[in-house]
């Protein structure tokens, strides 16, 4: 199968985006750990989220869908039952790492697995601190999947200074800290996504948090809640850039999550002179949302510092595309973590950008992208995605400014995070087709 992205004359219209993936994982897990029935609206139904959902069902949690609302019958922090088989998380590092924290305090063994891509990703970053909390957890000699968790007599709280910026690691430790007598404290050098902290607070946890420190105090239980999940900003990112680099375009993305820890891309694109306006601001639970109006723009080059990276990491591939249509050389510092995502995203983007005749180079360990301006049109080519959804969608967006078309290989990976990408893009005027 191929996804063909053709030149798109202009983008117009408005759309609602599916629910935020990060929040969807957390909504399911917190609902399962609460006492009572929670109802979730606008849950993202990507493969990643559905793998988390199925894992929870395998652990004895009743979950069903009625009239586009998901009902979760929670059983408390330690109310899960042993799964009959391995718990499979597909491509989802978020689901697997968060559930590793949850399962570390259960009284039965668990074995966590994933697809080929997830099976290559580093797990030492959660195994080490969970082990310090008393978890009996191990993986392969290379600290890759499968993860095996054996019941531990005692899980204790921890004060942990994060060696790397990772919302997944932070969240895993917070889930393991639920129900413990003493406080769990996580100290961060760089602020990361705070969806877990906000979700814990919404479910009644005794928690405080700043950009540099999170403290989870003794929390005995979660209370069931109704949740409406904001539109996924990481999904919105692709259409934001598509509208900015396309001529005569104007689109409106409605009810998008605007969590301050997620919108670094929005701030960076505005610094690049992107014509972006936020309207209709409100809150859904503890999460801020709003409508995003985007118009065609002449972008200038950007600079991304090491402090920007933690909250830009997932959006860097699409920011590379935006930089390709900006004036000047964009510079990106300390982005080596890109090599440890679903694929080596830095290598994948370098290869694709080279086919676009975009010059990329390293200068004193800073990755540089030499933009060619808004009016740049390039010849078509075929690009390998390495089964990485963000690589696939980034080059699909680039294809809207191609003289003819980009053929994108293995686009099935898009379903892991944004199965509606092609249909919603087509609604806005993107000329996508599959073959």
Q: Which residues are catalytic?
A: 314
What does DSSP assign to residue 432? E
SS3 content of the chain, % helix, strand, coil (to 5): 35, 30, 35
The closest alpha carbon to 247, from 60, 161, 374, 130, belongs to: 374
Please give the torsion angle defined by the CA atoms of residues 65, 67, 73 and 74, in that order, rounded to the nearest 10 degrees: 90
């Amino acid at each position: 199968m191929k996804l063909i992205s053709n030149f798109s004359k202009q983008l117009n219209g408005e759309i609602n985006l599916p629910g935020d993936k990060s929040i969807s994982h957390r909504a399911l897990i917190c609902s399962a750990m609460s006492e009572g029935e929670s109802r979730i609206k606008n849950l993202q139904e990507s493969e990643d989220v559905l793998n988390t959902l199925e894992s929870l069902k395998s652990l004895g949690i009743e979950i069903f869908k009625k009239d586009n609302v998901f009902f979760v019958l929670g059983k408390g922090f330690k109310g899960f039952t042993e799964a009959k088989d391995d718990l499979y998380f597909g491509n989802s590092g978020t689901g697997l790492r968060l559930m590793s924290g949850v399962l570390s305090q259960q009284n039965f063994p668990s074995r966590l697995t994933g697809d080929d891509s997830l099976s290559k990703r580093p797990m030492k970053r959660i195994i080490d601190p969970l082990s310090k909390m008393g978890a009996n957890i191990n993986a392969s000699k290379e600290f890759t999947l499968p993860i095996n968790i054996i019941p531990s007599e005692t899980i204790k709280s921890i004060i942990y200074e994060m060696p790397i910026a990772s919302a997944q690691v932070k969240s895993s430790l917070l889930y393991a800290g639920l129900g413990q007598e003493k406080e769990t404290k996580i100290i961060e050098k760089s602020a990361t996504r705070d969806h877990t902290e906000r979700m814990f607070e919404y479910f009644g946890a005794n928690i405080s948090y700043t950009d540099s420190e999170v403290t989870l105090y003794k929390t005995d239980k979660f209370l069931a809640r109704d949740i409406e999940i904001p539109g996924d900003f990481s999904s919105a990112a692709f259409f934001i850039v598509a509208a900015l680099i396309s001529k005569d375009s104007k689109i409106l993305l409605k009810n998008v999550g605007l969590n301050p820890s997620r919108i670094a891309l929005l701030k960076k694109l505005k610094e690049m002179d992107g014509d972006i306006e936020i309207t209709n601001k409100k809150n859904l639970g503890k999460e801020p949302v709003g409508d995003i109006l985007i118009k065609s723009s002449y972008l200038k080059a950007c600079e991304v510092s090491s402090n920007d990276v933690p909250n830009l990491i997932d959006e860097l591939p699409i920011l590379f595309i935006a930089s390709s249509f900006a004036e000047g050389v964009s510079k990106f510092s300390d982005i080596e973590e890109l090599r440890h995502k679903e694929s080596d995203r830095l290598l994948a983007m370098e290869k694709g950008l080279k086919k676009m005749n975009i010059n990329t180079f390293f200068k004193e360990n800073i990755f540089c992208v030499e933009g060619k301006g808004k009016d740049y049109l390039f010849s078509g080519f075929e690009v390998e995605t390495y089964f990485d959804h963000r690589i696939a969608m980034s080059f699909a967006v680039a294809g809207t400014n191609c003289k003819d078309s980009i053929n994108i290989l293995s686009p099935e990976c898009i379903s892991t995070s944004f199965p509606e990408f092609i249909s919603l893009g087509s609604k806005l005027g993107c000329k996508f087709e599959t073959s």
